[in-house]
Structure formats: structure tokens, C-alpha cells
Structure 1
């Protein structure tokens, strides 16, 4: 198992589907990992050429089929609207390409399961960017929790709050279920919160009770909106811990407020994504703030600390580390904690349980 975020043994050749914000994030991470950015496709040949110039790709392909037919491409980054993911990922896997797919992997668990099975059958590396687990202090929280230093985990308190859709004038393609799928706030950001919860604790949510709200039924361009703006969830973990999760894209003043606090019998641990350089650890007798210092962190957290203490790291650094680990896996390495299609499938199943609970008004079991 590798103990460092290293360049792959050979130059990975990457292709990109989509040309928006996430494609820009992916392409920066691919470039940082030393990949050759072969080219991209989009909704039209013209948009692909424009995106290629803007993102610094070598070529704009005329179509997805043309991109997938190029033998020079090793891995395909899927950065398109949610409801297109399953079709594009399936085509990429059938073409023999490794895949990094933006979440959700698919908008229903049947498709997500089929894609996970297909990737395994073809022996291809298939990853989903749950990148918040790549913050060094999130890994330090995981070390504290899984090593037993916090004792038995008994409570969970988490939230993921944003305000980019806080007014009816704010709009986006994700609001439209034909593009974003049946869930918006939870599938988009709640999935990150649950992934971080399960990754850091090594435990799983087994059942939940959820309430959803659509605050604005009409926005600037979308009407009859069915997807949720916010979700409140009560969760129970397999190990017996209970807790609450609040997810909102209509929380004024919150830009990317991902917060996760786990309470153990010996200590509580709190990670805040907007303050990723520190980790709060509370005990009955003393409370401490751990700072990101590679010399004093667990090995897994230290390997992700790419700059010295006091030099802040953030979201793009976490994304870069995720892509570097994916490429290293393609080259035969075994980096710790890479989120795969199994994790993407898990996120879809949790999302489906949230929607089922909200629709029925009762507890829902989460499929294993």
C-alpha cells in the first residue's frame, strides 16, 4: 500500500466529457498529477472546441463516440449533468476506459449497481470524487476514531449548508429533475456528508428518517420544481450511534459549510471543511485544536499534506490528491481510501432511502 501521493508510473492520458465548472476542477487536478490532457467532448463540436481552449486540452472532439474511440485516452472524466452519467460511464467502460465520474454515479441504484459490476468485470479503475475525505485533517479524524482514541462512537452531528440557491432568482440546471435527477440537495451535497461520516467512522448508516422541503417551487427559469432545497435526517449507525444531519442549499451566509462532529465515550472530534487546517478534539477535562503539521499527524494524514505546516491547503488540493490516487491506482498502486464506484453506489442507495423515508413519513432501511 502506497504511503504517498505520487505520480503514476507512466503518463496517464486523460479525456474529459463536459466543459463546465467541474471539468475545470478535474482538468487542473489531472494536470497537477502529470497527465496528458488529450481532449474533451461536449454537447456539440463547437462547445468542445471552446472548452478545450479554455481548459488547456489538446483537442476538442466532435462527439463522445469520437473521444471514446481514441486509443490514446486511458481515463475518461465524466463532468456532465447527473442524468447523463450512467449512459456515458457505460459507454466509456465498454470502450475499455478507466473512469472518474462526478457524483451521483447514477440517479438510481439499479444503474449504479450495473456500472459497478461492469467496471469490476472489465478490470477497470472506476472512481467517484468524494474528495472531502482527502483533506489531511479529515484523515486525522479518521485515525483518531478508528484507532479507538475517542472511545465508542455514540453520537453524530453533521451539516452541509450552502446559499447559492437561497433566493428564487437563483437557478441552475440541477434544479430540473430531468437533468439533475430525483434528488438535488441530498444527492449533490448530502452524499458528501454521509460519505465523510462513514469513511471517518468505519461504520455505516443502517436506517434513517428524513424530511425534505422545496422552499421555492419556481425560480428564474425553472417552474414546478420537485427537487428538494433542504433535508433533515435522523440516522442510526450499525454500531449503535445515533444522530442528525441537516443539508441545505438555501442557508444564507453559508458558502460551503460542511461540518461533521462525532461524539465518542472518550472524546468528540469535529471537522469543518471551511477550516480544513485544524481539527477540534474535545474531552471532559481539556479541549484541543490540532493543526495540520505533517510531522505530528498519522501516516495517512501526513501523506496528503503536500505543503509544510502554516501553508494552507484547500479544496483543489484535496481534489488533486484524489485524482493522483486514481491515476496511481491505474498504474497498479494501492493508495489508501480511494472512493470507488462501490462508494458511488452506496451514495445512491442512501439517497434513495432518504427519498423513500420523506415520501412515506416513516423510517427507511438503507440497502447494504
Structure 2
């Protein structure tokens, strides 16, 4: 009976606007709702931490209805796809419930705060036949797709080394506080699980190969924030080796003064190098022995996968929200039965959970940890 309901819902959603339900009315809920609206979804229902907050979010963001609880939204017959934008520790429970209810799911990362839950969710998603996506949205910058295509066609030659990082400063001061700093809500890892997971996903996506072993060190600068004990890390430094033998360094910090969202990936090959900088997403640096150059985003000259993500001409700046809109477009296309290339799914969320576990294990033991699967 459940399979029949799910099949009917999927078939119906292919011929009408998807009805989106969003759980969480904070920053990410606003980002998701904008992307849903841009992609012609109906903003059917929203739930938040309290009924009053849900009602306020309904009015502010233009939803048709507010649900009193997340569970009520998940059970609603007026919702086809559930966006989960809640604190980390709630993700696994809500995603499992949404899949069990026959709903497509977009779940913010981390997919789960432990590997066992991530494995269970990935298996449940695979068995359901439903769309189950994780917003590793930096994949959706057009110049990331350009870099990926150039690596895939051999422009770099042999991959030799990697220099990458993700730096922010929003936790720099001892007075800076956030629910992510407590393991109960945020999980055992903060800096890596929150932003290092994005960095590793982007690195493996562009390079087309995985990190197979790593050695990590972590640092917690303040033991207390906001009167609460801090239980996870502020900074992570990692040595990595990829499947082809390339070696690299990754630095992840939420305490790098002046760095707002400095996500960078630089790959060095035997023929040339590539560097993508998320704070300057319209450009891709290509380094060569004889000369280096800057490629500027242009759908007229881009590789096909990069061109499809560029709804505006060259010179009209695209940024983070555009990347997010592109990701949601692919997730909704998948819900209609299409198979978009490079869409991050629950298996990618599981990969991030396993890398997070490996980072924590390495930092605790001082050993190299194998991460190849």
C-alpha cells in the first residue's frame, strides 16, 4: 500500500508544481524557500520550533500554511517534498520519518551526527525510490563544473598535490556562541562537520577521486561559550592522500579573522593547475609553466555541464543563492523522474559522516586513518 501511494505521488508531481514543505524558519529555511519559489514549487507548509514561529515564517516567506509540528508537516497530504533545515541532531529522525511517509527529502548536512544513522538513512533512501538529496551546493557554481570537466578530460595531467581550505571568523571571539558548539545539538564535530564536509565534498567532486587516508589535528580554543561547555572543535588541519597518490593539506577554521566564507580548492597537476575560490565564484584560475590565466564565467564558452547552470549572460554576477537554486532545480527534476548529473544524494551525506568520524579518530589517536571505501 505504501508503494502505491508513493508511486502515485511521484507520478502526479511530474505533471504539476511540486508542493514544498520546509522544516525550520531560520537562515537556511529562508534560503531553501527562495530556491523552491524560483523553481516554481508551491510553498505549501512550513514548520518551526514553535507554532508561533511557524506562523511568523509563513507570513514572512509566503507559505500557504503553517504546521504546528514537524511531524504534522511530514504527514500532510499537501506536501510532496520535505526540506529539513533544523539543528543537526534532528536530521536523521526527521529524514527517516519523511521517507517513511513517502515524501522526497532534501536534508541539510550533516545528514546524521553518527555513521550508523547515516548508513541507515542511505539504505532507506535507496530502497524507497524517492529523491533524497543533501545540499552540497558548492558543486553548483558553474566554474566548479568547469573545473571538474577540465580535470575529467585530462587538462591537468597527473594530479600531484592539493592546497585547500575553508576559513570563517564567526566564532573568533569568546563571546561568539551558537547551538552548534554543543555536541548534543551540533554533534561531536563542529568545524569539520559544518564546513570541512563541504570542502572535502567539493575537492572529491572536482578531482574525480577520493581521499583514501588522512591524518588530522584539531583545536578547541575556548572551553566555554555563552556559559556552556564547548564540546567540539574550532579548527582542523588535515594531511590527505588521494586514490591516485596525490598528497594535500586542508585547513578548516571558524576562527580566521577577516575570512567570512573563504572556501578554496587548488589542484596541481603535471600539466597545469586549477584554483576555485568561492568568494570569487565567477573566476577560475588556470596555472601553467609558461603562463597563467583567469577564466571568467561565460555560458557561450563553457563546457556543457557548466553552461546549463548559467541562466544569465557573462558579466551578470552569480553567487551562493544561485548555486543553491541550481541544486534545488536538480532535486526537483529528479523528483519528476530525471537523472541530473552530479546531484549530491544521501550516499554523499554518508561519505561526509565517515570522513568526519575519520577526522575525529585521527585527532584522538594521532594515527593515519584509512578512508577509502
Q: TM-score range by the shorter chain?
A: over 0.9
Q: Which residue of 2 aligns with 1:284?
A: 289
Are 1:345 and 2:350 an aligned pair?
yes
Structure 1 partner of 2:147 = 141
Residue 273 (structure 2) pairs with residue 268 (structure 1): yes
Would you say how many aligned residue pairs link Structure 1 and Structure 2? 361
Task: Tell me whether 1:10 sits opposite 2:11 in the alignment.
Answer: no
Instruction: Tell me if 1:206 matches 2:239.
Output: no
Offset of residue 9 of structure 1: 5.3
Q: Which runs of 5+ in 2 are unaligned?
A: 1-12
Task: Return the TM-score normalized by structure 1.
Answer: 0.96
Equivalent residue for 2:126, pick from 120, 132, 137: 120
Task: Answer yes or no: is the 8 Å Cα contact 2:210–2:372 preserved in 1.
Answer: no
- Equivalent-residue separation in structure 2 for 1:8 and 1:259 (angstroms): 37
CA distance in 2, matches of 1:89, 1:176: 22
Is 1:313 the counterpart of 2:321? The answer is no
Query: Secondary structure of 1:279's match?
Result: strand
Pairwise CA distance, 1:367:
5.2
The one of 286, 302, 306 aligned to 1:301: 306
The structure 2 residue matched to 1:162, chosen from 159, 165, 168, is 168
Deviating 4+ runs (over 4 angstroms):
none
Q: Which moved more, 1:351-360 or 1:40-49?
A: 40-49
Pairwise CA distance, 1:223: 2.6
Q: Distance in 1 between matches of 2:112 and 2:80?
A: 22
Structure 1 unaligned spans of 5+: 1-6
> In 2, Cα distance between the equivalents of 1:197 and 1:367?
15
1:187 lines up with 2:193 in the alignment: yes
Deviation at 1:280, TM superposition (A): 0.2
Match of 1:84 among 80, 87, 90: 90
Between the aligned partners of 1:54 and 1:352, the Cα distance in structure 2 is 38
Offset from partner CA, 1:303-329 (integer Å, 9 cap, x none): 111110001000000000000110000
The answer as to 2:306 corresponding to 1:322 is no
CA–CA distance in structure 2, aligned partners of residues 59 and 217 of structure 1: 42
Paired with 2:85 and 2:70, the residues of 1 have a C-alpha distance of: 12
Q: 1:73 corresponds to which residue?
A: 79
**2: CA distance, partners of 1:73 / 1:226:** 37
- Counterparts of 1:47-58 in structure 2, within 5 Å, are 47-58=53-64
RMSD (CA atoms)? 1.1
Q: State whether structure 2 residue 224 is matched by structure 1 residue 218.
A: yes
Judge conservation of contact 2:283–2:295 (CA < 8 Å) in 1: yes
What displacement does 1:65 show? 2.2
CA contact (8 A) 1:8 1:327 kept: no
